[in-house]
């Protein structure tokens, strides 16, 4: 019964201090909207980057004179390494077919090739592309192997770029998170500051700190919750109207602004809204509840 | 019930004391008028008893509680023993008149049942049974003052402090309310009224403490307002 | 100077009128007491003259201005003709006492020179020459009230409205201020004072308008407070 | 003299309403910090994307039998087209040299090539890469030309991606701009809402609307200005400590978080701060200045 009274107080106060409630709710909604949308895009981008990184492969050219059994044994060995995801064997014939395909506009040149000078090769893909150098080093110098190629320069550049993209993304998520938190706390503080007389009056008629704090806390959480729900609705709307079109127009990329991610994000936003609302009102009240 | 020993109060950044060397003893069940010209320290006196402010030096005991050394979290328990009518009313602007009065009961954890019974009763006593649903900003000055009085009385506190409780009331209503205070006092409540209302003080002949420039200049049993000289 | 014709005021969502069928004529230079029990409509009367609120029906003229049909942007010019002491003081909380008084002059575009001269003068007149640097929250109730009076008087308005100007003042100070009002009135200012102070009304013998439940029940030249019956 | 009085009033009020001023200033600073940093990164990214797009070229393979004069005439003609930035002639010999370079690990194959089967070509770079299809179409079918290549698929994908990146960037800038504006307006409104009694008192003692509004307006602009300056300082700090390191670690990309851009951004932020501050207080006051 007492608890229901506190809830009733919080709801009445939410309604009667409508201007301040509106301000707090809008602030929560706007902050979480920006944060949520950015996180949504950033997480999708992260998936995309990961799929790019996965495409990094090691090409191992085999000596023509290596016997087939040894090559097969090598393939099995490589597959057994824990870093390796897959090993694909490209025979000499396949290599030639690819070469001919590439220069099909230049028949003179293809005709000029005597026999098949191209070597057979392995194409090795890794579980974590970061290990590419280590695996490549391990392969070099084996007697069956003529040359190991993994586009050292390109791979290093790719990783440098993905690292920076991830860093900037993280920086912005942290910054947006911090800014959202601060802005919401500031707004709720201001709203409670405007009511500091009320707080001091309540104290003067004998209300204990918790008796005063609880309705404010519930009110803050209510504002946070409503704001988060508004943000989620807007994000959903953006997702349906905007992101899905983008995913379609970039269908050649493994991009998906997925519903799963959206659900996880929504849950996080609701928790964030509730916590920030509670935090904001607690911080704001602390100053006015001294003695 | 109230004991002050050598109480002096300087407000920060002001060189003149608002109260100086105050020694007062009030027994349980007394009725006291606190008089004195504007700015003589009456409100400061009351704020000290409520522990709204702390004295610069001196000791204060209210209802047996050492006000100075009271732990902050115990302050509400002190205040629940005191009903206070504030000079500026101090009503909660976002609660209706009824809710303002009920708040003093809710603070004590009284059940809704009790609240629904006692609030209309006390509103009737101060003549505002029909105005309970209004917000303070919709009430006249005198009505606000009476709501403040109702809030102070509703939980039958052992001590009643009233700061200029009739400043916005007509003489007839003032007398009625003073009669009410007197009745409450007869039932055992200690009452302290700070006032400028000469008529009232002179007609009731209670103990009068007179302040001037923060000092007690007179403490008289069955006294009068004075100051016409 | 003030003319009301069949003025009725209902507050929104309240069925009882705060004022009903008021007809009043006040000549330039009159001194009028507005009396009546708490909630009878005195403050409403004053708020109508200030155009703080508009009447539900009726016509109001103040200093020759048709208050009802005044363009919003001209309202400040009406108010600059009226000095008003508010029942709840209405001091600016973020300005010191001095600055509050000075504000009434700044609104008129008076030069700093004039302000620096007149403000201390008027503060002295209300007995607060030493409290000018305090903020309203640092002043006692009576001191705030006197600052409100000082602000109303400082620009020598042709009309002075005062709502319960002595509710927080001791009888001696009250009499002094009433004498001041009287002096100002003798110099040509129209003065209207809403009050519960029987002593004051009875001793000054001015025109008394008595309200009850929003209606004028008495309009008496050289009247008394009445109501003891 | 009157104007100086209004400034004095605004400054005093800024100080005396310190809690509210702090709230407004922090809100401006945080909002503009996020907006500014994002715009900074987005504009840099835009430059980078543009430089990628510029790398799109048209390769025109010439017939071996085309006489040298005609080829030269064609080159001059192409250069004269307004869409074209540059035309580079690659002779048969140069083409062969490049081919040999590419297959230098496979000497057997190079040796096998009889004479020089590779054609001469033009490499055409455009002022605006969007015109690549149009220019290519115009070249096709000319008698000197054997084949026109411009990696149609890659180009289309590239443009699809850059378009989406730009769109998302713009979306976020607009969103952040809108959110910043709203949040600042909300905070300033709330701060003034808390002082609505003051406004009504001023009106009751005869202050005209402009007399009340001007100090609030100046105060709002002051808060906006201080907030913007704080944001700029923080952005500068981030630029020096973070972005310049990033630019170094990506030195292989034409990336620069330049001082020029920073200056332009700072100027915009200051203007934005002033305007939003003024706007916020105007909007907030409008409600309380009726009658
Ligand atoms: N917060 C404060 N800071 C500084 N001075 C204060 C403060 N509060 C009160 N004072 C000063 O202390 C003195 C006593 O004030 P107090 O309010 O106790 O007077 P009072 O007897 O209640 O007067 P009144 O009858 O006018 O209400 C006054 O001169 C007042 O200006
Ligand atoms: N804003 C409002 N909304 C609704 N009712 C109101 C409002 N303001 C005043 N009233 C009612 O109108 C009536 C007259 O109020 P008014 O303030 O004029 O009385 P008053 O004569 O000044 O009383 P007092 O002497 O107590 O100050 C009162 O009953 C009051 O409750
Ligand atoms: Mg007092
Ligand atoms: Mg009144």
* Average confidence (pLDDT) over C89-101: 96
Residue B139 lies in a domain: yes
* Least confident among B50-59, D39-48, D226-235: D39-48
- Domain endpoint, select from A127, A149, A171: A149
Q: How far is CA D192 from the centre of its chain?
A: 35
Residue C113 lies in a domain: yes
| SS3 at position D230 | helix
CATH of the domain at A61: 3.30.70.3040
CA of B141 from ligand 4 middle (Å) equals: 5
Q: Do D205 and C52 touch (CB under 8 A)?
A: no
Predicted confidence band of residue B229 (pLDDT cuts 50, 70, 90): very low
Residue C18 lies in a domain: no
Indicate if D21 and D98 belong to the same structural domain: no
Nearest CA in chain B to C18: B140
Nearest-CA residue for ligand 2 atom 4 is: B138
Q: Do chains B and D touch (3 or more CB pairs under 8 A)?
A: no
Q: Nearest CA of chain C to the CA of D183: how many Å?
A: 25
pLDDT tens-digit readout, A204-253: 999 999 999 999 999 999 999 999 999 999 999 999 998 888 888 888 88
Which token pair is D143? 């008698």
pLDDT tens-digit readout, D27-64: 999 999 999 999 999 998 888 888 888 778 888 888 88
pLDDT tens-digit readout, C181-191: 999 999 999 99
pLDDT tens-digit readout, D59-118: 888 888 888 888 888 888 888 888 888 888 888 888 888 888 877 767 766 777 777 878
Nearest-CA residue for ligand 1 atom 3 is: C138
- Tell which atom from ligand 1 comes closest to the C-alpha of B13: 4
Indicate if A137 and A235 belong to the same structural domain: no
Q: What is the pLDDT of residue B227?
A: 60
Distance CA B210, CA B218 (A): 5
* Average confidence (pLDDT) over A27-32: 95
Predicted confidence band of residue B69 (pLDDT cuts 50, 70, 90): very high
Q: Nearest CA of chain C to the CA of B140: how many Å?
A: 6
Q: Do A2 and B108 touch (CB under 8 A)?
A: no
Which residues make Cβ contacts (< 8 Å) with residue C23, sequence separation at least 6? C4, C5, C6, C7, C216
- Tell which atom from ligand 1 comes closest to the C-alpha of C170: 25
Q: Could you tell me which of A218, A206, C148, A105 has the C-alpha nearest to residue B78?
A: A206
Which residues make Cβ contacts (< 8 Å) with residue A1, sequence separation at least 6? B111, B112
β strands within chain B, DSSP E = 2-10, 17-26, 31-35, 57-62, 65-66, 82-85, 159-163, 190-194, 207-212, 215-220
* Least confident among B91-105, B139-153, D150-164, D276-290: D150-164
Report the residue among C89, C140, C141 best suited for mutation to probe ligand 1: largest number of ligand atoms under 8 A from its CB.
C140
Q: Is B36 in the pocket of ligand 1 (CB under 6 A)?
A: yes
* Average confidence (pLDDT) over A276-288: 89
Which token pair is D235? 């952005």
Q: Is B14 in the pocket of ligand 1 (CB under 6 A)?
A: yes
Indicate if A203 and A285 belong to the same structural domain: yes
Q: Is B17 in the pocket of ligand 1 (CB under 6 A)?
A: no
Residue C123 lies in a domain: yes
* Average confidence (pLDDT) over B147-166: 96
Q: Considering the entire predicted model, what is its pTM?
A: 0.89
Report the residue among B143, B149, B167, B172 best suited for mutation to probe ligand 2: largest number of ligand atoms under 8 A from its CB.
B143
Nearest-CA residue for ligand 1 atom 24 is: B38
Q: Could you tell me which of D173, D284, D162 has the C-alpha nearest to residue D223?
A: D284
Burial C24-39, CB ≥16 within 10 A → b, else e = bebeeebbbbbbbbbb
Kindly report the number of other CB atoms within 10 A of residue D153's CB atom: 9
Minimal Cβ distance to A207: which of B52, B76, B91:
B76
In terms of average pLDDT, the best of A5-19, D22-36, D129-143 is D22-36
How many residues does the structure list for chain D? 291
Q: What is the pLDDT of residue A144?
A: 82
Which token pair is C117? 């001269």
Q: Is B100 in the pocket of ligand 1 (CB under 6 A)?
A: no
Q: Nearest CA of chain A to the CA of D20: how many Å?
A: 7
3-state helix, strand, coil in chain C (%, to 5): 35, 25, 40
Residue B108 lies in a domain: yes
pLDDT tens-digit readout, A155-181: 888 888 888 889 999 999 999 999 999
- Residues forming a β-bridge with B161: B84, B192
| Count of pairs with CB atoms under 8 A, one residue in A, one in B | 56
Nearest-CA residue for ligand 2 atom 28 is: C39
In terms of average pLDDT, the best of A195-204, D91-100, D132-141 is A195-204
CA of C42 from ligand 4 middle (Å) equals: 5
* Average confidence (pLDDT) over A256-266: 88
Question: How far apart are the two ends of chain A, measured CA to CA in Å?
Answer: 28
Query: CA triplet A197, A199, A203: central angle to 5 degrees?
Result: 115
Nearest-CA residue for ligand 2 atom 6 is: B138
Q: Is C88 in the pocket of ligand 2 (CB under 6 A)?
A: no
How do C207-212 and C31-35 pair as beta strands? parallel
* Average confidence (pLDDT) over D7-15: 91
Query: How high is the mean pLDDT of chain D?
Result: 87
Q: Do B168 and C167 touch (CB under 8 A)?
A: yes
Q: How many domains does chain C have?
A: 1
Distance CA A71, CA A89 (A): 9
Distance CA A207, CA A288 (A): 13
CA of C3 from ligand 2 middle (Å) equals: 21
Q: Do B84 and A207 touch (CB under 8 A)?
A: no
Distance CA D99, CA D134 (A): 29
Predicted confidence band of residue C228 (pLDDT cuts 50, 70, 90): low
The residue written with tokens 């001696």 in the block is C172
Q: Is C42 in the pocket of ligand 2 (CB under 6 A)?
A: yes
Phi, psi of D126, deg, nearest 5: -110, 155
Q: Is B171 in the pocket of ligand 2 (CB under 6 A)?
A: no
Indicate if A43 and A89 belong to the same structural domain: no
Distance CA C43, CA C194 (A): 8
Is the dihedral angle over the CA atoms A208, A210, A215, A216 positive or is it negative?
positive
Task: Select the residue from B9, B34, B36, B39 to test the C interface by mutation, using most C Cβ atoms within 10 A.
Answer: B39
Which residues make Cβ contacts (< 8 Å) with residue D10, sequence separation at least 6? D214, D215, D216, D217, D218, D219, D222
Q: Do chains C and B touch (3 or more CB pairs under 8 A)?
A: yes
CA of C39 from ligand 2 middle (Å) equals: 5
Q: Do D186 and A26 touch (CB under 8 A)?
A: yes
Q: What is the pLDDT of residue C227?
A: 59
Q: Do chains C and D touch (3 or more CB pairs under 8 A)?
A: yes
Domain limits for position D101? 57-149
Q: Is C139 in the pocket of ligand 1 (CB under 6 A)?
A: yes
The residue written with tokens 């003068």 in the block is C121
Distance CA C77, CA D198 (A): 19
* Average confidence (pLDDT) over B107-135: 93
Query: CA triplet B141, B147, B151: central angle to 5 degrees?
Result: 145
Indicate if A270 and A169 belong to the same structural domain: yes
- pLDDT higher than 80, residue B120: yes
* Largest Cα span, chain B: 54
Report the residue among C8, C39, C88, C198 best suited for mutation to probe ligand 2: largest number of ligand atoms under 8 A from its CB.
C39
Domain limits for position C141? 91-156
| SS3 at position C91 | coil
pLDDT tens-digit readout, B161-210: 999 999 999 999 999 999 999 999 999 999 999 999 998 899 999 999 99
Indicate if D172 and D280 belong to the same structural domain: yes
Q: Do A290 and B72 touch (CB under 8 A)?
A: yes
Which residues make Cβ contacts (< 8 Å) with residue D222, sequence separation at least 6? D10, D11, D14, D277
- pLDDT higher than 80, residue D129: no
Q: Nearest CA of chain D to the CA of A265: how many Å?
A: 18
CA of C193 from ligand 4 middle (Å) equals: 11
Indicate if D70 and D47 belong to the same structural domain: no
Indicate if A183 and A85 belong to the same structural domain: no
Kindly report the number of other CB atoms within 10 A of residue C183's CB atom: 10
- Domain endpoint, select from A124, A149, A174: A149
Q: Could you tell me which of A4, A17, A5 has the C-alpha nearest to residue A207?
A: A5
Nearest-CA residue for ligand 1 atom 18 is: B41
Which residues make Cβ contacts (< 8 Å) with residue D287, sequence separation at least 6? none
Phi, psi of B159, deg, nearest 5: -125, 135
Predicted confidence band of residue A70 (pLDDT cuts 50, 70, 90): confident
Report which of residues A66 and C82 the model is more confident about: C82
Indicate if D66 and D34 belong to the same structural domain: no
* Largest Cα span, chain A: 103
State how far the alpha carbon of B125 is from the alpha carbons of A283, B84, B116, B134, B140, in Å: 41, 17, 15, 17, 17
Q: What is the pLDDT of residue B32?
A: 96
Which token pair is D288? 């309380």
Q: Is C13 in the pocket of ligand 2 (CB under 6 A)?
A: no
- Residues forming a β-bridge with C161: C84, C192
Chains that touch C (3 or more CB pairs under 8 A): B, D
- pLDDT higher than 50, residue A291: no
Residue B32 lies in a domain: no
Q: How many domains does chain D have?
A: 2
| SS3 at position B97 | helix
């Amino acid at each position: 019964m007492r608890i229901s009274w506190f809830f009733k107080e919080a709801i009445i106060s939410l309604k009667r201090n409508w201007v301040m409630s509106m301000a707090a709710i809008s602030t929560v909604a706007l902050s979480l909207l920006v944060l949520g949308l950015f996180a949504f895009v950033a997480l999708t981008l992260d998936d995309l980057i990961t799929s790019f990184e996965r495409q990094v492969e090691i090409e191992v050219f085999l000596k023509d004179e290596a016997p087939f059994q040894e090559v097969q044994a090598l393939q099995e060995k490589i597959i057994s390494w824990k870093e390796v995801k897959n090993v694909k064997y490209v025979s000499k014939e396949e290599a030639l077919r690819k070469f001919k395909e590439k220069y099909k506009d230049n028949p003179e040149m293809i005709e000029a090739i005597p026999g098949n000078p191209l070597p057979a090769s392995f194409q090795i893909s890794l579980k974590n592309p970061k290990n590419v150098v280590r695996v490549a080093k391990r392969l070099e110098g084996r007697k069956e192997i003529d040359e190991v190629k993994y586009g050292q320069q390109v791979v290093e550049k790719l990783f440098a770029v993905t690292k920076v993209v991830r860093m900037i993304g993280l920086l912005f998520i942290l910054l947006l998170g911090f800014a959202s938190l601060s802005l919401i706390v500031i707004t709720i503080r201001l709203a409670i500051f405007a009511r500091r007389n009320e707080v001091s009056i309540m104290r003067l008629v004998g209300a204990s700190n918790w008796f005063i704090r609880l309705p404010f806390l519930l009110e803050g959480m209510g504002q946070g919750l409503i704001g988060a729900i508004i943000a989620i609705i807007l994000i959903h709307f953006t997702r349906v109207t905007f992101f899905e079109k983008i995913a379609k127009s970039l269908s050649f990329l493994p991009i998906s602004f997925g519903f799963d991610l959206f659900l996880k994000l929504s849950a996080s936003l609701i928790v964030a809204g509730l916590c920030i609302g509670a935090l904001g009102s607690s911080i704001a009240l602390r100053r006015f509840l001294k003695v | 019930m109230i004991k002050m020993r050598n109480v002096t109060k300087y407000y920060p950044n002001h060189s003149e004391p608002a109260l100086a060397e105050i020694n007062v003893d009030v027994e349980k069940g007394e009725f006291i008028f606190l008089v004195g010209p504007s700015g003589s320290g009456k409100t400061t006196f009351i704020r000290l008893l409520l522990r709204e402010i702390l004295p610069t030096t001196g000791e204060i005991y209210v209802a047996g509680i050492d006000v100075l050394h009271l732990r902050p979290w115990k302050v509400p328990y002190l205040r629940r023993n005191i009903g206070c009518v504030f000079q500026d009313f101090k009503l909660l602007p976002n609660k209706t008149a009824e809710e303002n009065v009920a708040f003093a009961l809710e603070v004590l954890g009284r059940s809704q049942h009790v609240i629904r019974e006692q609030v209309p009763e006390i509103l009737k006593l101060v003549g505002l049974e029909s105005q309970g649903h209004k917000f303070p900003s919709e009430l006249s000055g005198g009505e606000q003052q009476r709501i403040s009085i109702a809030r102070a009385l509703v939980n039958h506190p052992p001590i009643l402090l009233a700061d200029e409780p009739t400043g916005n009331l007509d003489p007839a209503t003032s007398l009625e309310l003073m009669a009410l205070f007197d009745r409450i006092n007869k039932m055992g409540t200690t009452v302290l009224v700070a006032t400028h209302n000469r008529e009232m003080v002179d007609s009731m002949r209670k103990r009068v403490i007179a302040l001037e420039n923060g000092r007690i200049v007179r403490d008289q049993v069955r006294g009068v307002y004075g100051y016409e000289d």
